[in-house]
Amino acid sequence: MKFSTKIERCELSPMRKYAPYADAAKARGMHIYPLNIGQPDIETPRAFFDAVASFTAPVLEYAPSDGVASYLEAVRDYYRRIGQTDLTTANLLATNGGSEALWLTMSCILDDGDEIIVPEPYYPNYSTFVTLAGGKVRPIPTTPEEGYHYAQRSKIEPLINEHTRAIMITNPGNPTGSVLTREEMKMLAGLAHEYGIFLVADEVYREFSYDGEQMASMLEFHDAAENVIVIDSVSKRFSACGARIGVVVSRNKDFLSEGMKVCQGRLCCPTLDQVGAAALYNEGPEYFAAVKEEYRRRRDTAYDMLMQIPGVVCRKPEGAFYLMAKLPVDSTDAFQIWMLEHFSASGDTVMITPGEGFYTTPGKGVDEARLAYVLKHDDLVRAMRVLAEGIDAYNHR
C-alpha cells in the first residue's frame, strides 16, 4: 500500500527514541528525573473539574463547530482583560489544543512548495503540521551564545522570497525560553505587514515571562491586524494539558472563514472539556502570580546550577519553562543513552531532550539539549546535581 509522500516526510517524535532505554532503566530499579517533557506538575485548578461535575444536560451533544458559547466568551473576556478590547467571539475558533490550532492554520495558509520562516531550534511538531500542509520550514539560524535570539530584521528579511507565506514564532519560546521585547514584536509585525505574509504567533506560554517584560500578544499591533494569527491553549496556562482545548485568534475575517471549514470538517471540540476550560478562565491574577513565581524560582535554580557545570553555554532564558543549552559532551544523544544505560547516582539518573530534534538543519544541535524545569523545587535540585555528576562521569568514562 502506498502512503502519502507528505506523511512519509514527517518524523516520529524525537523524544520517543529514548523510551525503551528509560523502560529498561526503570526495570533495573533506577529512578529517572524527567527534565525532558513539558508536562507541568502544577495542579489543575479545581474549577475545571467542578464545572464538568456540574454539567447536567441529558444528552452529551455535539458542540458548535467554532466552540461552546461559554468557552468562547471566557476566552474573549480574557483577551479583553489583556488589552484586546475590540475582540469578539467572532475572532475566535475553538480548537483541540494549540496543536489543532496549528494544524488548522497551516492547512489554511500553505500550499505545496510554500515556505514558512521559523526560528530554529523550534517545537518539533511544527514540522509535522507544515509538512502535512505541503509546506517547508525555512529556518532562521540562532546560536546558544546569543541565547537563541533571532528577532533581527537583517536575519529574517533575506529569507523572504516569492514562496514565503508566513513567519511563525513561539513567544515565550519552546525550546529556548527566549522572550521577545516589544520592539522585536513590533519589528516582526511590521515585516509581516510590509511583505503581505501571515505572522503566526504561538503564545501558549504567554503568562510565563519572568524578567519584567509585560505579558504580551502579537494582537497588540493593529497595523498588522490582517496578518496576525495567534495560537493559544489552556494546556500550559492552567496546567490542563489533558483537556485538549485551545483557540485560534485573528482579526482576519477571510482566514477565520477558511478556518471554519476545517472546524466544520472535524465537527467540534469535546463539549465537556470546553465547559471545564470556560471555568478555568475565571482564575484571577493571584493564580497566575503564584504559578509564575513558582516557575521563576525553578528557572533561577535550574539556570544557576547548570552554569556551575564547566563548559556549559547558556544565556538565562526569560520565559516558558524550558532552557536550552550547549552541554560539554560530544553528543547529547549518546550522552542521554549512556545516562540511561550506564550511569547511576545512588540509583538516580535524568532524562533531558537532546537538541537535534529541534532543528531542521542537519548537524545542528548535536551538543545541545533542552531541559524542562517542571519538577518540584527539591526534585529539580536533585535532578540538576545528578546531571552535573553524569556529565563529569561521561567525560571521564
Ligand X SMILES: Cc1ncc(COP(=O)(O)O)c(C=O)c1O
Is residue 349 part of the contact set for ligand X (CB under 6 A)?
no
State the DSSP code for 64: P
Site for ligand X in 240-299 (CB under 6 A): 241, 246
Phi-psi region of 277 (alpha: psi -120 to 50; beta: other; left: phi over 0): alpha
- Per CB under 6 A, does 36 bind ligand X? no
Q: What string marks each residue from 56 to 95 as x (binds ligand X by CB under 6 A) or -?
A: ----------------------------------------
* Min separation Cβ 27 and ligand X, Å: 28
Size of the site for ligand X (CB under 6 A): 13
Using a 10 angstrom Cβ sphere, with 0-12 exposed, 13-18 middle and 19 or more buried, the burial of residue 294 is middle
| Number of Cβ atoms within 10 Å of the Cβ of 209 | 22
DSSP 358: G
Tell me if 48 contacts ligand X by CB under 6 A: no
How far apart CA 292 and CA 276 sit, in angstroms, is 22
123 is a site residue for ligand X (CB under 6 A) = yes
By beta-carbon proximity to ligand X, the closer residue of 118 and 279 is 118
| Minimum CB distance to ligand X, residue 158 (Å) | 25
Nearer to ligand X, 275 or 345 (CB): 275
Q: Could you say whether residue 391 binds ligand X (CB under 6 A)? A: no
Residue from 50, 39, 45 nearest 15 by CA: 39
Of 219-238, binders to ligand X (CB under 6 A) are: 233, 235
Cis bond upstream, residue 121 (ω within 30) = yes
Q: Which of 114, 115, 202, 207 binds ligand X (CB under 6 A)?
A: 202
CA R_g for the chain: 21
Q: Can you name the residues that pair with 117 across neighbouring β-strands?
A: 138, 167
Nearest to ligand X of 97, 121 (CB atom):
97
- State the Cα–Cα distance between residues 16 and 237, nearest whole angstrom: 25
Q: Is 98 in the site for ligand X (CB under 6 A)?
A: yes
Residues in contact with ligand X by the rule CB under 6 A? 38, 97-99, 123, 170, 174, 202, 204, 233, 235, 241, 246
